[in-house]
Amino acid sequence: MSSSSVQPIVQLYEVPGNDFTRAGEASSKVKGILKKLGYDPDAIRRVSIAMYEGEINMVIHANGGIARVEIFPDRVEILLSDQGPGIADVEKAMEEGYSTAPDEVRALGFGAGMGLPNMKKCCDEFRIDTAIGKGTDVYMIIRVRGSKS
Amino acid sequence: MQYFHSVRLDEEKCLGCTNCIKRCPTQAIRVRDGKARIISNRCIDCGECIRVCPHHAKRAVTDPLSMMDDFRYKIALPAPTLYGQFNHLLDVDYVLTGLIDLGFDSVFEVSRAAELVSDYTRQLMRENKLKTPVISSACPAVVRLVKVRYPDLCGQVLPHLSPMQVAARLAKEEAIRQTGLAKEEIGCFFITPCPAKVTDIVSPIGISQSWVDGAFSIADIYKPLLEKMEQVKTPRPLSKSGIIGVSWANSGGESAALIREQYLAADGIENVITVLDQLEDERLTELDFIELNACPGGCVGGVLTVENPYVAKARIQRLRKYMPVSLNHVNGSVSPEILEWDGELEYTGGMQLSSDLVEAMRMMQEIDALEKMLPALDCGSCGAPSCRALAEDIVTGSGARLNDCIFILRKEASSLGVSLSDHPADRGRIHPTEEQNDDGKNAQ
Ligand SMILES: Nc1ncnc2c1ncn2[C@@H]1O[C@H](COP(=O)(O)OP(=O)(O)O)[C@@H](O)[C@H]1O
Ligand code: SF4
Ligand SMILES: [Mg+2]
């Protein structure tokens, strides 16, 4: 059976910006789907972490957004798109420990400044498109290790 | 592969309601032809369905007390939970003496073995020899859950035998030395709070052959034991364990025994799943030990106990008061190797749609499409726990059909010009049998 003969599984999620307690739901749904598919455990782990961090970022820094996930036999592509404030200095934001998170979310253990660097570590391809005042798109690809691109 | 399960269905008592299908943490139950059926490779023997069934149609298979007669020398292995079942008990020796008077030749408290497991775990953690956070392997329902659902966490499960198996091994070897009898002539009987432990006797985790020969439920032994205990004038000094071992009956006991701060103890199967999900996402990395018990409150909440878990917990707390901290340590007399599993925990899966990824993706797309046709009410009348689960059952070919959904069936019927009565007597027709699969005819 050739893997190109199957359509990708596409999932769209709205990540609400006003309800912090629901952050992380979309990534946990994706994880559930990947497990049902019997997807490679290492890829599941990387998808879960990268998407979770990105989802949290949309909630705490950008007042929510949407997540589009495409599952292929050899890779998972994730687009996180928001209409938040944008990131002024992407290089700085990528530094470990850099954070502008407000105190109230720090009290919950977020805002360690490790989200973006961890997302990048989990991904095989990682790109940020951002514009001040317009929003941010984070585009990530996680490949199943051992499968060709 | 064949799976043994201690949790079984009593067909006569089952009314085919939806209580158990909705509460099963692994979605392992379906109602087919009006009776609940357990999907074997998903069941973890947690006993949740036994807890929720209002008709007592789910039960745990344990051994009859008469099984003792099959052995020349009989050893009782009481779970510490047993001590929490008796009112006004101030001394564990009453329970242990009562067991002897009931016909056992000796007793070996499982709490003794628990102290050994704790001691060895403390030692290995001090030496940083375990992958952290370490997940406790004491509750077999939790270990089986990890086996079917959490491939990444298998390597973090404490690779030690449960105190029950350790107790049985030590007791049996001691009895062989003292009596000269052959291994087969000596019977070790665990007095169990739960069906999961029974399953761990028939198909043990971490070793090929169980050291335990049978299991008596706490509920079954309670009355005859209490009668013997009431006649005990002077209890024999039999207890050889302390606070650490006895505390394993309660959630948090195993963790406290490690004398470390960075631990988490969760109980109740829903909480256990939440914690495992977070562990899998590496969100609890600051912790070094995770104690998980499928039952609320820990083993005191096991479905085969007689006392309310919180009452039992309070009693155990009182009992501990005059106990030494711990009386059992791994050293010269007990070699630590006997506590170890033969190998790492193996992931068996059981939740995936197919072993072939592309095939699984196709199935998932079909399931998505079918789900859209269903009313999204998750009412359970079709026999599956949710609309999504019905769609999945149809696609995986487990005998379910779209018109198992009463809403679809109604639509089909009305398009044929027949009306379906709402009368409860018609309920049976929600599950048409193979012979009567002409739905229009059924509906008349
Ligand atoms: N979607 C986003 N919109 C706006 N700013 C963001 C977004 N994601 C990240 N940032 C900025 O990048 C910084 C670093 O992000 P991250 O590494 O995830 O750390 P943290 O979320 O803990 O602050 C954030 O503090 C924030 O200033
Ligand atoms: S918590 Fe204890 S009683 Fe409950 S299933 Fe696990 S081992 Fe059995
Ligand atoms: Mg972040």
Q: Which of B209, B221, B208 is nearest to B103 (CA)?
A: B221
Identify all chain A residues contacting B388, using CB atoms and an 8 Å cutoff.
none
Q: What percent of chain B has pLDDT over 70?
A: 93
Instruction: Please state the rounded mean pLDDT for residues B57-66.
Output: 93
Q: In ligand 2, which atom is closest to the CA atom of B251?
A: 1
| DSSP strands (E only) in B340-386 | none
pLDDT at B422 > cutoff 80: no
Q: What is the ipTM of this complex?
A: 0.87
pLDDT at B344: 84
Could you tell me if B417 and B63 are in contact, meaning their C-beta atoms sit under 8 angstroms apart? no
Which numbered ligand comes closest to the C-alpha of B196?
A: 2
A21: confidence class by pLDDT, cuts 50, 70, 90: confident
Task: Output the six-digit token pair for B176.
Answer: 């062989």
Using a 10 angstrom Cβ sphere, with 0-12 exposed, 13-18 middle and 19 or more buried, the burial of residue B284 is middle
Separation of alpha carbons A145 and B26, rounded Å = 29
Q: What domains appear along chain B, each with residue ranges and CATH number?
A: 7-60 (3.30.70.20), 65-339 (no CATH), 357-426 (1.10.15)
> Which of A7, A45, A49 has the CB atom closest to B365's CB atom?
A7
- Mutate: best of A27, A36, A51, A76, partner B, most B CBs <10 A: A36
List all residues 6 or more positions away from A126 whose beta carbon is below 8 Å from its beta carbon. Answer: A119, A120, A138, A139, A140, A141
In the reported structure, the alpha carbon of residue A138 is separated from the centroid of ligand 1 by a whole-number distance in angstroms of 11
Question: What's the whole-model pTM score?
Answer: 0.85
Task: Determine whether the interchain pair B151/A41 forms a contact, defined as Cβ–Cβ distance below 8 Å.
Answer: yes
- The string of pLDDT tens digits covering residues B215-249 is 999 999 999 999 999 999 999 999 999 999 999 99
Q: Which of B332-336, B361-365, B435-439 has the lowest mean pLDDT?
A: B435-439
Indicate if the pLDDT at residue A23 is higher than 90: no
pLDDT at B2 (0 to 100): 58
Query: Where does the pLDDT of residue B335 fall: very low under 50, low under 70, confident under 90, or very high at 90 and above?
Result: confident
Q: What span, in angstroms and rounded, lies between the C-alpha atoms of B130 and B128? A: 6
Confidence of residue B444 (pLDDT cuts 50, 70, 90): very low
Taking CB atoms and an 8 Å cut-off, how many pairs form between chains A and B?
Answer: 59
Mean pLDDT of chain A: 91
The CB of B79 under 6 Å from ligand 2? The reply is no
Confidence of residue A4 (pLDDT cuts 50, 70, 90): low
**Confidence band (pLDDT; 50, 70, 90) for B423?**
very low
Query: Is pLDDT above 60 for A96?
Result: yes
| CA distance linking residue B42 with residue B44, whole number of Å | 6
Could you tell me how far CA A31 lies from the centroid of its own chain? 12
Q: What is the mean pLDDT of the segment spanning B167-185?
A: 96
- Confidence band (pLDDT; 50, 70, 90) for B443? very low
Nearest ligand (C-alpha, residue A56): 3
For residue B199 the two structure tokens come to 């399953």
Instruction: For residue range B301-310, list pLDDT tens digits in order.
Output: 999 999 999 9
Lowest-confidence pick of B98-102, B107-111, B190-194, B397-401: B397-401
- State the number of CA atoms in the 13 A half-sphere of B209 facing the CB: 5
Asked if B358 reaches chain A (Cβ–Cβ under 8 Å), the answer is yes
User: Is the pLDDT score of B421 beyond 90?
Assistant: no
Give the mean model confidence (pLDDT) for residues A69-89. 97
- Answer with the residue of higher pLDDT: A105 or B164: B164
B360/A37 touch (CB, cutoff 8 Å), yes or no: yes
Comparing A116-120, B6-10, B247-251, which segment has the lowest mean pLDDT?
A: B6-10
pLDDT of residue B435: 41
What integer pLDDT is reported at residue B442 of this predicted model? 38
User: What mean pLDDT comes out for the span B293-304?
Assistant: 96
For residue B176, the model assigns a pLDDT of 97
Q: Is the pLDDT of residue B350 over 80?
A: no
Residue B434 one-letter amino acid: E
The beta-carbon contacts of A57-61 under 8 Å, at least 24 apart in sequence, are: A57/A115, A57/A116, A57/A138, A58/A15, A58/A17, A58/A82, A58/A84, A59/A15, A59/A16, A59/A17, A59/A20, A59/A23, A60/A20, A60/A23, A60/A101, A60/A102, A60/A105, A60/A110, A60/A111, A61/A85, A61/A100, A61/A101
In chain A, pLDDT over 90 holds for what percent of residues? 76
CA B195 distance to own-chain centroid: 5
For chain B, give the mean pLDDT: 90
Structure tokens that stand for B218 in this block: 């706490």
Q: Is B50 in the pocket of ligand 2 (CB under 6 A)?
A: no
Q: What is the pLDDT of residues B259-288, one digit of tens each?
A: 888 999 999 999 999 999 999 888 888 899
Inter-residue contact B299 to B79 (CB < 8 Å): yes
Q: Do B152 and A3 touch (CB under 8 A)?
A: no
Residue B318: which of B87, B82, B78, B77 has the closest Cα? Answer: B87
Does ligand 1 come within 6 angstroms of the Cβ of A90?
A: no
List CB contacts of B183: < 8 A, sequence separation 6 or more. B172, B176
Distance (angstroms) between ligand 1 centre and the Cα of A102 equals 11
Amino acid at B43: C
Higher local confidence (pLDDT), B73 or B40:
B73
Sorted by where each begins, the domain ranges of chain A are 23-143
Instruction: Kindly give, in sequence order, each residue whose CB lies less than 8 Å from that of residue B368, ignoring residues fewer than 6 positions away.
Output: A9, B391
pLDDT at A115 over 50: yes
SS3 (DSSP) at B162: coil
Do strands B7-9 and B35-38 pair parallel, antiparallel, or not at all (unpaired)? unpaired
A48 contact residues in B (CB cutoff 8 A): 280-281
DSSP state of A68: E
CB of A126 closer than 8 Å to CB of A139: yes
Structure tokens at B353: 């749609």
Residue B288: strand, helix, or coil: coil
Categorize the per-residue pLDDT at A147 as very low, low, confident or very high, splitting at 50, 70 and 90.
low
State the sign of the Cα–Cα–Cα–Cα dihedral B194, B197, B198, B199: positive
Q: Name the DSSP class of B160.
A: B
Q: Give the CATH number of domain A23-143.
A: 3.30.565.10
Distances (CA, A) of B230 to A54, B77, B87, B94, B103: 64, 20, 12, 9, 16
Cα(B81)–Cα(B247) distance, integer angstroms: 9
What local confidence, expressed as pLDDT, does residue B419 receive? 62
| pLDDT, mean of residues A59-83 | 96
Could you read off the pLDDT of B87-96 as tens digits, one per residue? 989 899 999 9
Q: Specify the higher pLDDT residue, A90 or A2.
A: A90
B401 pLDDT above the threshold of 60: yes
Say if residue B133 is preceded by a cis peptide, omega within 30 of 0: yes
